[in-house]
Amino acid sequence: LHYISAAIFRLAMEEQTLPRLVHEGGVTALCNICLRCPRDILTTQLCASALSLLSQQTIGRYAVVQEGCVPALVTLLHEASDSSTLRHGLLTLSNLLLDTAHHVQVLGQGGVAAIILLSNHKCSEIRESCAIALFNFSRGEAASEKGVSASAIPAIIALSRLPQPRTRMRCAATLCKLASVEDNVNLMVEEGVVPAFIDMLQTRDQDIVKHCCAAL
């Protein structure tokens, strides 16, 4: 299984082979290996890296979602312990969430919950990946559902306090989007969004300030 993963990873690096790799079951094979070897670090790194490459293309994103591979990704994110596997798994979910048509399925299959769970990870790169994924998710209507907001908003507010300017900018943009939904306002205030905005405004970064002011 490790060598099969390695072969698929190398094939995924060649853009011209992607359609055939997808149509002949490459995505499904990777996901099956994820489910069978979620704690084999060398294998999971290859699987997650290959899936992130495949998800960069529309045809690959469609295959991951339509072939029911999101649960395998979620298993990988729950079981894997190394940062490389987690980063590439999150990158795959971020790429899937670029297409708003995939949001409902990714949400329903536990993808968003897995992102929120990892948002307090000790690794800054993983937190950055979570911020990107949640930003992509906030662009769709599914992010406005009350049950989703209840868990996503505290995670985004926590991420907004991190020192990385890019992470803070994405969090400000995500909170701005969520603030446009009236049902979210009370929850955001209760979770401390106003102090978070005030803190981010101190950065005087033009993009961060713009999103904070728009949200307020």
Distance of alpha carbon 40 from alpha carbon 44, whole angstroms: 6
Provide the pLDDT for residue 15: 85
Positions in the chain whose pLDDT score sits under 70: 146-147
Distance CA 112, CA 205 (A): 28
Q: Give the pLDDT of residue 68.
A: 85
Q: What is the pTM of this model?
A: 0.90
The whole-number pLDDT of residue 145 equals 74
pLDDT computed for residue 1 by the predictor: 95
pLDDT tens-place string over residues 6-62: 999 999 999 888 899 999 999 999 999 999 998 899 999 999 999 999 999 999 999
- Helix, strand, coil percent values for the chain (each to nearest 5): 80, 0, 20
- What is the predicted pLDDT for the residue at 146? 67
Q: Which long-range contacts (CB under 8 A, 24 or more apart) does 5-9 make?
A: 5/30, 5/33, 5/43, 5/46, 5/47, 5/50, 6/46, 8/46, 8/50, 9/46, 9/47, 9/49, 9/50, 9/53
